[in-house]
Chains A and B, each alone.
Chain A
C-alpha cells in the first residue's frame, strides 16, 4: 500500500537523521531547559555536566584556581534561580558565560584587591607543577578574549568548534582568538 503522506511531505521525513552534533546538543539543551524550569533535577544536572568545563574554564581564566570550583557552583546556583529569564534556549552557553564573567568580576570586587594571578607559582610541588603554573600564569596575562579561548582549548581540552558551540562565539572569532592568543603565549613563554 502506498503511503499517502510520504510523497507529499518528503521533506519532513528525510531530515531527522541529518542533524549535526551541534543541532543534537541544541535539542538536548532545549528539552533539558524546559524540563529544568519545571523542577526536573535530572535535566538541570545534565545541563550542569554539559556546561561545567566551559564555566570552569572561563573562571579559571580570571580567578585563583583554588577559587574556581566554588565559583562554578555559585554560577550554576545563580543560573538555576534565573533559568526562567532565559528567553532563548539556544543561547544558554552565552548566558552562562555572562554569569560566569560577572561572578568572577564580583569575586574581585568583594575581595577589594585584585589578586595577582601569576603569583601562584611558588605554590608548585615539583618541576612539572612549576611549568604548568607558569604556563597558566602566562595565559592569564593575555588579553581577555585570547585568555578565555586558550584556557578552554588547552586546559579544558575543548576543540575550536566545541568552544564556539558552548560559548556562543562565532567559529571565526574562536579561530582568530586561538591563533593570536597562541602567538602571544609563545612570545611570553619564550621570554621567560
Chain B
C-alpha cells in the first residue's frame, strides 16, 4: 500500500497533469509547495524583455562601419576560433575546398567504386555510392550532415567548412543543416534544392523522378529562374525534364494532389485542355486555407483565364492586402505577389529574398 502511495506521489511529481485528479495527502502537500513557490517564478518574456543594447551590439538595429583595427582584431579572433574548432574536433576534417569527412552507417558504401573504411574522406568530384544494404553519412563541413540512403549515388561538388554543394545522381539523401540559409545546395538534373534551414529529404530515382519533403524549416527549389519555397510538412515533386513541382502540404486531399500533379506535369496540347481545366477546378474546389501556399505559387505558373481563376480563389482564402490588385497580379506584378505572400502568415518575403542579397552568387 505504501508503495502505491509512493508511486502516485512520484507520478504527480513527474507530471502533475497525469494525476491531477488524485487527491492524496502527499500530493496536496506538494501542490501547496508549488503554489507557495510560484511567487519566485520567472516573469514572462514580455515583462523581462532583452535590453535594446543586445540588438545594437549585434548590429541588428544599427550598423556601424568597423575600423581597420576592429577588422584586424575580428580576423585574429576568427583565425583563433577556427583553429580552436579544428583542435576541439580532434582534427576532424571540416572542409578546405578539397573534401569533407564521411562515415559508414551500414553495409559497404563505395567512393569511386572503392570500398570505404568506417571513416573516410570524400574529395570534391568523387562519387559516394551505396547499394541496397548500405548507407553513409557525410559531414557538411561544420554546418550540418547528410545521410545518404540505400541505392544512392552522390557526387561532392563543392566542400568548404561553412558552405558546399552535392550532386544527387539518384537515390535518397536527408540533409540536416544548421547554417544560415543558402549555404548548402543539392543539385539535380531537374533543379537545385537550396537549404534555407534545417532538415529535408530528397529522393530521385534512376529516371530522374522523385520528391522533396521538408521536415524542419524551409527549402527553396530553383530552376531557370523559377523559385519554389517549400515549408515544413510540405513537399514538391520532381519530374525528369520538367520544372520543379509546385509545393503542397502533405495533408492536402488526394484529389488536390492529383489535380496539382496534372497541372504541373500533365501533357500540354489541344487534346489535354479539358483535362487541365478539370484539374484546376478540382484543385481550387479542394483548396483549404492552408493550401494558399500552393495557390500563391500557381500565380507565377499560370496565365490568362487560369491565372484569373487562381487569383479569385486565393483571394477567398487569403484576402489580398492593401496595394495588391487583381489587374496587377494578372499583369504579373512580382512586387504584388510578394506582398500577398507576406499575408499568408508564413515567413515574409524579405526573409528569403534577403539571403540572396547577403550571399550573392551562391
Number of A residues contacting the other chain (C-beta, 8 Å)? 63
With A38-B355, A38-B358, A40-B351 already in contact, the answer to whether A45 and B45 are too (CB < 8 A) is yes
Is the C-beta of A57 less than 8 angstroms from some C-beta in chain B?
Answer: yes
Greatest chain B CB density within 10 A among A33, A35, A41, A175 is at: A35
Cβ–Cβ < 8 Å partners of A38 in chain B = 180-181, 355, 358
- Contact between chains at A178 and B14 (CB < 8 Å): yes
- Contact between chains at B14 and A159 (CB < 8 Å): yes
- Contact between chains at B45 and A49 (CB < 8 Å): yes
Cβ–Cβ < 8 Å partners of A39 in chain B = 58-60
- Contact between chains at A136 and B37 (CB < 8 Å): yes
Question: Shortest Cβ distance from A131 into chain B, in angstroms?
Answer: 6
Contact partner of A65 among B17, B40, B55, B211, CB < 8 A? B40
With A1-B258, A159-B17, A175-B14 already in contact, the answer to whether A69 and B198 are too (CB < 8 A) is no
Main secondary structure of the interface of A (DSSP, over half): helix
Is the C-beta of B151 less than 8 angstroms from some C-beta in chain A?
Answer: no
CB-based nearest B residue for A31:
B217
- Contact between chains at B39 and A73 (CB < 8 Å): no
- Contact between chains at A12 and B180 (CB < 8 Å): no
- Contact between chains at B36 and A135 (CB < 8 Å): yes
- Contact between chains at A34 and B178 (CB < 8 Å): yes
Contact partner of B198 among A3, A30, A60, A161, CB < 8 A? A30
Those of B26-46 within 8 Å (CB) of chain A: 30, 33-34, 36-45
Give the interface segment out of B129-137, B249-257, B299-307.
B249-257
Q: How large is the interface on B (under 10, 10 to 19, 20 to 34, 35 or more residues)?
A: 35 or more
Cβ–Cβ < 8 Å partners of B42 in chain A = 52-53, 55-57, 69, 72, 156
Is the C-beta of B233 less than 8 angstroms from some C-beta in chain A?
Answer: yes
Is the C-beta of A155 less than 8 angstroms from some C-beta in chain B?
Answer: yes
With A3-B254, A34-B181, A179-B13 already in contact, the answer to whether A72 and B48 are too (CB < 8 A) is yes
CB-based nearest B residue for A182:
B13
Cβ–Cβ < 8 Å partners of A157 in chain B = 34, 38, 41
What are 29 A-B contacts with C-beta separation under 8 Å?
A1-B258, A2-B258, A4-B261, A5-B210, A9-B211, A12-B203, A13-B250, A16-B251, A27-B217, A31-B197, A31-B198, A31-B217, A34-B180, A34-B181, A34-B198, A37-B179, A38-B181, A45-B45, A72-B42, A77-B51, A77-B57, A80-B54, A85-B81, A87-B178, A154-B34, A157-B34, A160-B13, A178-B14, A179-B13
- Chain B residues packing against A (C-beta within 8 Å): 9-10, 13-17, 30, 33-34, 36-45, 48, 50-51, 54-55, 57-60, 81, 85, 142, 177-181, 196-199, 201, 203, 209-211, 213, 215-218, 232-233, 235, 237, 250-251, 254, 257-258, 261-262, 347, 351, 355, 358
